[in-house]
């Protein structure tokens, strides 16, 4: 019951943020500084929380009508074959992401985009690669 309240709270917060962002977007005639991006941040976070809450509510209603589906989903999620397939897909997506980030950084540099944007992208890229190296070393020590 407690989780059900959280789902409805997520839906409510999502709707409030969504409409608040739309209101800020329409009401400010000449936004400056942070007010230029705040409406879009509110809209994005609002849509995400609304979708998360509604997804949980819908799945709980479906599972209440068909409990065998929930049991089958739990079995499928814990199946070793499905876990291996998911890990392999993540590894493939990670490989693509490295090439795409690299191409995007070079493209931004050639387009002479602001230095701050390029440095943020480089910083994010280095965090991803650094975490890869960290976990690679960690898992090699374990095995």
Q: What is the 3-state secondary structure (H, E, C) of the chain?
A: CHHHHHHHHHHHHHHHHHHHHHHHHHHCCCCCHHHHCHHHHHHHHHHHHHHHHHHHHHHHHHHHHCHHHHHHHHHHHHCHHHHHHHHHHHHHHHHHHHHHHHHHHHHHHHCCCCHHHHHHHHHHHHHHHHHHHHHHHHHHHHC
Lookup: tokens for 25: 């977007």
**Residue 28 near residue 35 (C-beta atoms within 8 A):** yes
Question: How do residues 3-38 score in pLDDT, each as one tens digit?
Answer: 778 999 999 999 999 999 999 988 888 878 788 888
Position 1 scores a pLDDT of: 57
Question: How do residues 59-117 score in pLDDT, each as one tens digit?
Answer: 888 888 888 887 887 787 788 888 888 889 999 999 999 999 999 999 988 998 888 88
Position 86 scores a pLDDT of: 85
Lookup: tokens for 88: 């392999």
Chain-centre distance for alpha carbon 102: 21
Nearest to 18 by CA among 37, 46, 54: 46
Residue 50 pLDDT grade (very low, low, confident, very high; cuts 50, 70, 90): very high
């Amino acid at each position: 019951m407690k989780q059900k309240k959280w789902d409805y709270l997520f839906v409510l917060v999502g709707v409030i943020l969504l409409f608040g962002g739309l209101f800020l977007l329409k009401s400010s005639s000449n936004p400056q500084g942070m007010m230029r991006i705040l409406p879009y941040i509110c809209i994005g976070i609002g849509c995400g929380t609304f979708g998360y809450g509604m997804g949980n509510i819908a799945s709980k209603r479906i599972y209440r009508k068909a409990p065998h589906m929930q049991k089958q989903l739990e079995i499928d999620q814990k199946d070793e074959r499905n876990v291996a397939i998911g890990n392999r897909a993540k590894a493939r997506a990670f490989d693509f992401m490295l090439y795409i980030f690299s191409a995007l950084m070079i493209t931004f540099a050639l387009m002479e985009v602001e230095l701050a944007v390029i440095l943020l992208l480089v910083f994010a890229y280095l965090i991803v690669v650094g975490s890869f190296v960290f976990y690679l070393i960690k898992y090699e020590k374990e095995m």
